[in-house]
Every structure is written in C-alpha cells, then in structure tokens.
Structure 1
Amino acid sequence: MRPRPRGARTTVLAAAFALALAAPLAAQAQGTPPAGPADGTGRPHQYEVTGLATPSDRSALAATGASVDEVHGRATVVTADRGQLALVRALGHPVRRLPDPPAYAATAAPGVKGFPPGYTKYHTYEQATQEINALVAAYPSILTKTVIGKSHEGRDIVALKLSRNAAKDEAEPEVLFTAHQHAREHLTVEMSLYLLKELTSKYGSDPRITKLLDSREIWIIPDLNPDGGAYDIASGQFRSWRKNRQPNSGSGSVGTDLNRNWEFKWGCCGGSSGSPSSETYRGPSAASSPEVQVVAKFVRGRVVGGRQQITAAIDFHTYSELVMWPFGFTDDPTGPGMTQDDHDAFAAVGRKMAASNGYTPEQSSELYITDGAIDDWLWGDQKIFAYTFEMYPTSAGAGGFYPKDTVIPRETARNREAVLQLLENADCMYRSIGKEGQYCKAE
C-alpha cells in the first residue's frame, strides 16, 4: 500500500466542501443556475485535471460532485457539468476539456431509438431480455430466471441462476455477478450475457466449467439500472447518463448514483455528493433507490439458517481496467470488520485475477474515497468477498464509456479466466493465503 497523508486529506476535503457550498449560493445570488449541462446537448463533458499526485488530491476532486473516470499518474479525467466544472477549477489545478468521443457524434437512423451505428451489437434492455429468455428455454435444467423486483420505471430486474440443478436450492457455495449500475456502462451488460452463454454452452463439454456448475450456485443480475441504460440511448445518440431515473423531490435534477446509495457507510466520508445535480449524488437516504432495495433484499434473502450462502461477488463497471476490493470509504488497509487475514485473502485473489486479465489490482481507496458502494456493503454488511472490475478501455481516448461494438467479444472473454478463478476460490477464499484449515470447515 502507498502511504497516505491522512491529515492532508481532511484539510483538502474540507476546503472542497466549502467550495461546494459557496459556489451554488454565489450562482443563485447572480441569478444563474448552479449546475446543469455544459452545453445544449444535455450532456456533461470530460475534463483532464493535472497535478493530482495522491489519493487525497483525487478525493478532493471527487468531492466536487464530478465523477472520476480514470487516473494516470498525476492526471485524472472527470465527467462534470457546468456547476461541477466551476468547483473543479476552484481547486487550482490545470483543467483541459477533452474532445468529445466519436460516439457522441454517432446517431441512429431517423426514427430509430437505440444504439447508433458502430454500437448496434450492444443489446438494448429488450434485446437482452429476449436473449436471456432464449437461453433459459434452451438450458432449463441448468439456468433459471427469477424477477426479483422492479426498477423505478417498472422494468424487471432479474436474477439468473446457473447450477447443475438450478431449480433446487442446494448446500453449495454461491457467487454473485452484477452489472450496469451506471447507465452509460453498456459493456457490462455484454459481460453478463457472455457469462450466461459461456457457462451454459460449455457445460458438459468443458471439464472445468462442468465441475464448477456441479459444485456452485452462480447468480447473475445482468442489469441493475435498466431505466438509466434505456434513457442513455433513447434519442439514438449517447447522453453520457450515469444515474438511475428516479426524480429528486424539490429539484429539477433526476437520478441517484446507485453505487453511492448502498447502506453500509452511506454518505459517511466525503466519498459521494449530497447535491441532486451531482454525477455522484448518493440519494436522500441510504438505499432510497428502488433498484438498490431490490438487489439488497435479494442478497439478504440468500441467508439460510443464519448463514450467508453467497461467498464471493464481482460488480462489473467501465472503464480503466482495474480489479478493486474493499474498502473504498477508508484508506485503512483493513478498516472496521476486516481483519488482516481478510484483507490478505482479498488481495491475493484480486491480484491473481488481475494477472489473468491484465488489469491493475488495488484497494478501492487507492484511487480516491468513495462511500455507499456495493462492494463495501457486500463485505461490510454481509461478509461477502466482493470485487469491482472496471473493464476496457484504459482511457477516454480509447473509447471511454463507449468503445465500439467490435471489442465486445474480446473484452468480455478477457475476463473468463478471472471469473473461473473466483468461482474456484468461492468455497474457501482463505485458501489463497494458506489458511484453509483455520477458516474453512472440511466437507
């Protein structure tokens, strides 16, 4: 772990919060809106901020309400609207607007609402649903589908179960894969569909996959934010939308950042925003978003006989090519409820997975402080070894949130080995540090 200047982070964050409070008031006094899209397109934009050398610097940047998209040495790329950009500039670092990606200029054919040319192999919510239903029909003994709840706009949120006897609840280690908390991260839905197709089609022919489905119960929730995803492409042109589509009472701003809305350490530590216009708005209260409520209820429902059956998880995001583990809310390598052995097991498995896909492994707070994130909740509340994967690419220049559809096969298959490794470790994560006998009961 890199050393972190705790006192410096507190001081810088306090200054950032003061700016965050002052700027909207000043804007209102002048009769101008405190925030909003940077131009008439309805989209925020990406900016490169240089001179940020430490996680503390980046935490102060995140405290402006902009979303931190990528980090390269002393340069950080953020997505910000007009109001957030003013706060970013007030921190005193050089700021440069990046060119809009080609994806912003791509437009679907007249009258077509959906992915534009160059992106049509991505699945809309409806197309993904059709493909999932076809897989369930083709592999009924090893794949089941359950509607576990509804999004704000009434779309189904589903959980797919893969196992040798999928219709039966057996005493086997369970692993959870989730995707698409952030609307513009469409590659994560493709990751879910890849796993469904790979694990069903190879069962019975691939010995490794067959053994895993015979001894594990695998849950895939392919789309946590179907409303936001649909909105992002509804005009036939990308909107760079991040949040869900839940209105905010008393505000014209729509949406909550689902990955800042989970109950564990919600809003505790400067790792999210209390402003409804922010890219990282945490919502008015913990688990206020229906989508978070649905998934949290499902996870808690996997407690059988007082024991959580889900032992490990991955939440897929884009972009930056990272494998991250808790905690995000603190820069402590362990933190409350995590022992050194817990941390070491997290890191050992995380680094091995990263070695297989070429991603960078690190504790979440190595980048910057976040609070209310799903992996912190899964561990802090449920003691599930939960990871966040930030998928392809590494930079905005390589496509950012909108890589062309030609990369889908390569970049989803790139995570195959990492997923299989996690499934294999799911019965005893402490095996990775040589302490299986201490922590895991012999079967």
Structure 2
Amino acid sequence: MRASSALSKSRHAAVALCTGLALTTGVLAAPAQAAQPAQPAAPATSPEAAQTPALPSGRTQYRTLADYQSDMAALAGRRPDLVKQVTLPHRTSEGRAVTGVEITDDVQQQDGKPVLLITGMHHGNEWASGEVTMEFGHDLVANHGRDKRITRLLDQVRVLLVPIVNVDGFVRNTRRTATNVDMNRNYGFGWSPNEPFPGSAPWSEPETRNVRDTISSRQVTTYLTMHTCLSNMLYPPLQLKAGLPQDIDAFRSFADAMGTQNGYYHTTSAEDYETAGEVIDWSYYATRGLGVTVEVCTTPMGLPRTFESLVPDQYWGVGPNAGKGNRGAFLVAMEQAADRAAHSTITGHAPKGAVLTISKDFDMWTNPVPQPDGTSRPVSFPNRLTSTMRADERGGHFVWDVNPSVRPIPPYQADGVHGNRTGFLQESWTLTCARPDGKVLQTLKLKVDRGKSVEANLHECRKLFHR
C-alpha cells in the first residue's frame, strides 16, 4: 500500500496508513494458518455488492497459506496441460517456499511466449492482493475452452501468478518480512538507506531476490504487483528528481486501459508520494517491460473494508464498473503482454530440438549511499537477464517474444542521479544455439528495439546440429 497524494506527500504518513491496514479492517481476524480463517463480521456493504457474482473459486472468506497451496496444487492436478506449479529459487528468511502457478496452453513446453507476471502480498497484511491474484488463476482455468478471449490469450501468453511473495509476512500478518524489512523498499535500483525499513543493503532479502530472479529468467513483458488499499495504479518514477521514464506514454496508455475496467485512477509513483527501491522501477529500467503497481481497494473509498467489498466487489467490479473490475484489468494486461507492438520478437530457423538462450549483463546503481569515509556515492550491482526456449516446431521456424535489448538510460548512475533522461542504451541480446546436451554451436549478437523484430541467422547451428 502507498499513501494517496490527497492524504500526504510524506512517506511516513503512508507507512503508518499501510501498517494500519489490519486495524482498518479490524472486523477481520488475521488469516490463521489452521484450517479456517476468521469470517468477516460485516456483510456486503453496498447495494451493488448484493449483485456481485460469486468468485471463480466460490470462496467467501480469506485463504490461509495452506488454502493457497491447496488451490495451486488442485489447479495443476486438474489441468496438467494448462497449469504448472513453480517454486521460486530462494526460501524465505524463516525457511518457507514461495510458490506460484504458470498457466498457458501446452504449459510444459519451453516456448517463446511473452509472460504476464502478477504478484500479490509484497506486504504480508494486504490480503486482498493475494486473493484477486489467486482468483484469476481459477478464472483462467475454468474458462479456457469456454471463453473465446481467454482461450485465445492463453494460446499467446504465459501467465505466472505468485499470490504471496512475502510468505513470512503473511503468516505473521505484518507488512514487513520476518527480518523487519519492507521488501518493496529493498530492490537495488535507486535503493536508499533513508527509506523506512529498507534492509541492510540492496537485495539483502531472499524475498526480493526471488522476484528479481523470476523476472530476470523470463521474458516478462508485463508485470502487475498487487497491493491494498487505495484504488489507484502507479508507475515509474519513484522520485521526482528521476524524471519521467522514456516510455511514459506507453505506461499511461496501459494504465488507462486497465482503469476503464477497475475504475482506478493512475499516476506516477512519485506524484503519489516519493519512495525508493520498489520493484516497478527496477523491472522497467532493467527489462523495459511495463510494470504497474495496482492498489486494490473499495470503490468508493469510504466503504467498510470487508472480504466482500475488497475481494468479490473488486474482482468483478461494482457500480459503473460492474462486470469488469480487476478481472477486466487482468485481461487487459494479458492483451498488453501479447501485443508485439509493445515488446520485440526474434525470429529464425533452428534445428528441431535446439535450445536457444538469450542473455544480457549490465550494472545498475542505487541512490547515493553514505560511505565509511564520510562521502556518499551510489553502489553498483550486477544484473543478468537470461531465458531459454526450445525450437520444437516442425521445420525449425520459431518466433520468440522478448523484451527489447535496447534499454532506457536510467536516472541512477555511478556518479549520482541524472533526471529526465530521454535516450536509450543500444544494447544487444547474446543468443546461443545449442544441442540439448548443452553444446553451444553458434553465438550471435542481436539488437532489437520496442515494437521491432530481428531475424537470427542460425545457419551454422543448423549445419552442425546433427554432426
């Protein structure tokens, strides 16, 4: 959660509001990690709520951690052709696994589809953010083959849902991690020790590294990080001194399209209030994929925050947005992820069964950080983006949906902050073509911009593959 500009520009006021979410929803008990969480004490609170359809899962109360795990396992068990469980690479500080589901046609294939990533509960007490994420998984599985739009999009896009990225915080019913860090102030790009609970260093928390490694190992062309409770949507920059991102028009257009569905307004994160070290800033400047913070909340804002007003009402929409809501916004995000004018493609012919890998390495920087010698300077950290697909189509032709190799020049640099950048780094992907045993047969450098396509000439790989 973040503070709205109408409340305050102060980050401390925002944190107080966010920390108090469990109190403002005080009629609700914390999701116990037993079989059943407490029921909301209040019924639906608006005339529109009475007409809100049941959730795709049929649930009427908040999930426990066991409920989330059971739901994900059940979806994968019911449709193994469509759903695959995934475990993120790092366990939490208290040793818990962080899990999600991938949903797409032929989900077991290493195809070249673009990825829509949706994560819930960067802040562990923002329960509705995980609920709407999980409900979308149920919705996609139930309507694949029945709803033409969903069926088409699942043929084009791989959807990755991680309902709880801060599992320890969820279990403890607290905003922060078990190490008392706000993981959405711990991302390395622009990280600052002056933020509340930022961690001991950039990327100090396994939960933060989980999201970084997930995005870095997939072509996430679109990313939604779900929060509560302000009914708005936010995109870079995080700080006014950074200036607007190079793709600001694309951010505004995307958020505007989602806003026609959920009824939320959109603005830059800095215009809401200034922070540092959030995921949307790093993900954009590292990958150029569009990342947006979505704050799920009651509409209008003054309604009591119950399960009904925060989850079914906001999933399906109420009032003028009835029948749309965040479900409609998620479908817009799938369309955005699939839109090749909004990312890039690599095409070519490769031997059937060849393993294609693209990678890119570069450094990024924090905000200036105080040093032991009394000076203050940015700290650098390495980034490695890499992802893989298999050329399994008959005839060897492939189309790989990727983020552009051409990356926006970031405002945070080795010598400080330089705002209002307009240019791009003319970087290239390094593509390798290998046999399944890992033997690399050919390496290429490919530069590709947003909305463009580049052809990979893999003649050498085709010549050597069966030798």
TM-score, reference length from structure 2: 0.62
Q: Is 1:136 matched with 2:52?
A: no
**SS of match in other structure, 2:81:** coil
- Residue 244 of structure 1, aligned match among 177, 202, 225: 177
| 2:451 alignment counterpart | 440
Is the CA contact (8 Å cut-off) linking 2:82 and 2:104 kept in structure 1? yes
**Larger strand proportion of the pair:** 2
Alpha-carbon deviation of 1:407? 4.5
- Residue 116 of structure 1, aligned match among 5, 13, 38: 38
Q: Using a 3 Å threshold, how does the CA distance of structure 1 residues 100 and 245 change in structure 2: closer, same or farther?
A: closer
Q: Report the AA paired with residue 243 of structure 1.
A: R
| 1:344 alignment counterpart | 249
- Residue 208 of structure 1, aligned match among 146, 149, 166: 149
Alpha-carbon deviation of 1:431? 5.8
Q: Report the AA paired with residue 192 of structure 2.
A: G
Distance in 1, matches of 2:183 and 2:169, equals 10
Moved over 4 A (4+): 77-80, 105-114, 394-397, 429-432
Is the CA contact (8 Å cut-off) linking 1:212 and 1:424 kept in structure 2? yes
- Residue 166 of structure 2, aligned match among 219, 222, 225: 225
Distance in 2, matches of 1:345 and 1:404, equals 33
Distance in 2, matches of 1:107 and 1:362, equals 33
Is the CA contact (8 Å cut-off) linking 1:108 and 1:117 kept in structure 2? no
Q: Using a 3 Å threshold, how does the CA distance of structure 1 residues 208 and 330 change in structure 2: closer, same or farther?
A: same
Distance in 2, matches of 1:109 and 1:185, equals 11
| 2:297 alignment counterpart | 392
How many residues end up aligned between the 2 structures?
322
Q: Using a 3 Å threshold, how does the CA distance of structure 1 residues 138 and 68 change in structure 2: closer, same or farther?
A: same
- Residue 260 of structure 1, aligned match among 161, 165, 185: 185
Q: Is 1:67 matched with 2:6?
A: no
Q: Using a 3 Å threshold, how does the CA distance of structure 1 residues 156 and 352 change in structure 2: closer, same or farther?
A: same
Q: Report the AA paired with residue 147 of structure 1.
A: T
Tell me how large the CA RMSD over aligned residues is. Answer: 3.3
Is the CA contact (8 Å cut-off) linking 1:161 and 1:217 kept in structure 2? yes
Alpha-carbon deviation of 1:419? 1.2
**Larger helix proportion of the pair:** 1
Write out aligned runs for 1:188-207 (5 A). 188-207=129-148
Unaligned residue ranges in structure 1 (runs of 5+): 1-47, 70-76, 81-97, 233-240, 247-254, 274-280, 303-308
| 1:162 alignment counterpart | 103
Is the CA contact (8 Å cut-off) linking 2:128 and 2:310 kept in structure 1? no
Q: Report the AA paired with residue 14 of structure 2.
A: S
Is the CA contact (8 Å cut-off) linking 1:333 and 1:343 kept in structure 2? no
| 1:174 alignment counterpart | 115
**SS of match in other structure, 2:26:** helix
Q: Report the AA paired with residue 144 of structure 1.
A: K
| 1:87 alignment counterpart | none
Q: Using a 3 Å threshold, how does the CA distance of structure 1 residues 439 and 147 change in structure 2: closer, same or farther?
A: closer
Give the share of equivalent positions with the same residue, in percent: 24
Distance in 2, matches of 1:118 and 1:266, equals 38
**SS of match in other structure, 1:197:** helix
| 2:235 alignment counterpart | 325
Distance in 2, matches of 1:406 and 1:104, equals 14
Is the CA contact (8 Å cut-off) linking 1:174 and 1:216 kept in structure 2? yes
| 1:370 alignment counterpart | 275
Q: Using a 3 Å threshold, how does the CA distance of structure 1 residues 186 and 100 change in structure 2: closer, same or farther?
A: closer
Q: Using a 3 Å threshold, how does the CA distance of structure 1 residues 79 and 222 change in structure 2: closer, same or farther?
A: closer
| 1:422 alignment counterpart | 333
| 2:67 alignment counterpart | 127
Q: Report the AA paired with residue 213 of structure 2.
A: K
**SS of match in other structure, 2:202:** coil
Is the CA contact (8 Å cut-off) linking 1:345 and 1:430 kept in structure 2? no
Is the CA contact (8 Å cut-off) linking 1:265 and 1:329 kept in structure 2? no
| 1:403 alignment counterpart | 306
Q: Report the AA paired with residue 98 of structure 2.
A: I
Alpha-carbon deviation of 1:405? 4.3
**SS of match in other structure, 1:415:** helix
Q: Report the AA paired with residue 327 of structure 2.
A: R
| 2:259 alignment counterpart | 354
Is the CA contact (8 Å cut-off) linking 2:232 and 2:296 kept in structure 1? yes
Q: Using a 3 Å threshold, how does the CA distance of structure 1 residues 110 and 124 change in structure 2: closer, same or farther?
A: closer
Q: Report the AA paired with residue 312 of structure 1.
A: T
- Comparing 216-225 with 410-419, greater Cα deviation is found at 410-419
